[in-house]
A and B are shown apart, each in its own frame.
Chain A
């Protein structure tokens, strides 16, 4: 009787161990017979590429492996050949002429305020004055007497980099009252505070405003913030989502890039609040 129970207990313990061990071993054993495409880089681009990858897998019968780690990692990995394709949420710069970039979609950033805020527009110098803390009250830019809550993005986010670059600011100069992570958190924060001002991806903001979330998209330099203006190329604060390769890409990588730029995936691009490149 007792020995049965002992045997059962040791059986369970061994089974647990076995599961743990096999978990470690399985990763190395048995390489998949299918071709594999490794794509790394920007976390802005990654969700889109992952979706495109799923569809591409179904079409081509290959495996697409998408890993995030920032635009810089995407470019470094493509250069060193660690990845077949790198992802960057910006255009390639002059120091990156050894690489070729392929735009798959465009993303824009707009300033948002609470829906009940009477302010209809802010020119660039006003945005700078607000974000650096020189204006502390909405009345200073023609609004109500209400303190301004500046919503900034966390260090390292590409939205932050693009915003700062456009307004020629440094993050140290920004007098933030709230620091947020992703677009959704930014939209909720602004919707919950009539004095808040922030900046998020246009697609996400447009989507939220259409759903009735209490935010308002402000025009930038006189251009209305909309995905139409973005695809027309007139919106000033925009960035291309880029796939990066070094030299001539492999046949498979080439096919993937063509697929990612084709109309076959433009529904995915729109679903993720971006604008198709072509």
Chain B
């Protein structure tokens, strides 16, 4: 009885895992297959060096430069993480170390609420509130800056909550040790807590970057979506995700396939990120094992 149930469990778990894993591979393969016609007919170098992005004409007469959109994705993400990472980490430290408990709880509740708001609501709010405010300073308002601000708001919960979790998981004995040494709160924080929580915070930041890279609707609504390398924070940009969402519904053959190439590019970016996160975690585990052992 016992052994049969056990075997059944292991079989079904194997199957479940295989199913989840193969779904990801299937999607990747699908994107590759769909983008293959464009990759062969247009060629990789034209995706880098064509004068513009006007793909509707097909591989012969169209232009297929994806670089401005790659830069758009990277710049909005970079800007958002530069703002959201320190904010998230500092707010987590405030909540864990300095805030009175009732305030800390209320604060955490607010951040969780922020995490639960659907992205299209952020986008809508950005379009009717943030963009007009920016437009009154420097038209058109829909810009790289608007995208960065909205994205910051969207990934702030990720950085704040993962930093919070990383701080909680710092072993109690470390804190007791620091207290026994008579360290001040700031010295404990800087010398003990932050180094111990560092890898967790780092992983959270990488997660947040992943979210920022993939965000579509909100960015689509506030970024202006002009395909050009931005020359200032107030210039419009188009991200790879917005490119797909804007054009996919109407795209045919060559155009459609070229859009899958932007999807493929995005997939590669995210894969690189996942590998980085994995490496970070492994290094952290290794160093911790060393410290304990």
Contact = CB atoms under 8 A, between A and B. Distances in A.
A6 B52 contact: no
B53 to A, nearest CB: 8
A147 interface: yes
B172 to A, nearest CB: 31
Contacts of B250: 43, 70, 154-158
B225 interface: yes
Interface string B110-130: 000000000000000001100
B277 interface: no
B249 A13 contact: no
B47 to A, nearest CB: 16
A69 B135 CA distance: 35
A180 B220 CA distance: 8
A270 interface: no
B218 interface: no
B52 A178 contact: no
> Which range contains the number of A residues in contact with the other chain?
35 or more
Contact of B54 (A9, A149, A155): A155
Contacts of B220: 181
Contacts of B170: none
Contacts of A171: 54, 56
Contacts of A196: 139-140
Interface stretch (B9-17, B96-104, B149-157, B282-290): B9-17
B9 A192 contact: no
A176 interface: yes
Interface stretch (A14-22, A124-132, A243-251): A14-22
B224 A179 contact: yes
B131 interface: yes
Given A9-B9, A13-B9, A69 B252 contact: yes
A150 B245 CA distance: 21
Contact of A172 (B19, B52, B238, B247): B52
Interface string B1-28: 1100110110111011001000000000
Interface residues of B, number: 42
Contacts of A108: none
A25 B54 CA distance: 41
B68 interface: no
Contact of B252 (A16, A70, A178): A70
A10 B226 contact: no
Interface in A189-244: 189, 192-196
A46 B227 CA distance: 28
B56 A155 contact: yes
B224 A17 contact: no
B127 A178 contact: no
A178 B225 contact: yes
23 contacts: A2-B2, A3-B2, A13-B16, A16-B16, A43-B249, A43-B250, A70-B252, A146-B139, A154-B250, A155-B255, A156-B250, A158-B250, A171-B54, A171-B56, A177-B142, A178-B236, A179-B236, A181-B245, A188-B127, A189-B131, A192-B141, A193-B132, A193-B140
Interface of B: 1-2, 5-6, 8-9, 11-13, 15-16, 19, 52-56, 127-128, 131-132, 135, 139-142, 220-221, 224-227, 236, 238, 245-247, 249-252, 255
Given A6-B9, A20-B19, A181-B220, 13 more contacts: A2-B2, A3-B2, A7-B9, A10-B5, A14-B12, A73-B252, A149-B135, A158-B250, A177-B139, A177-B224, A180-B225, A181-B246, A193-B135
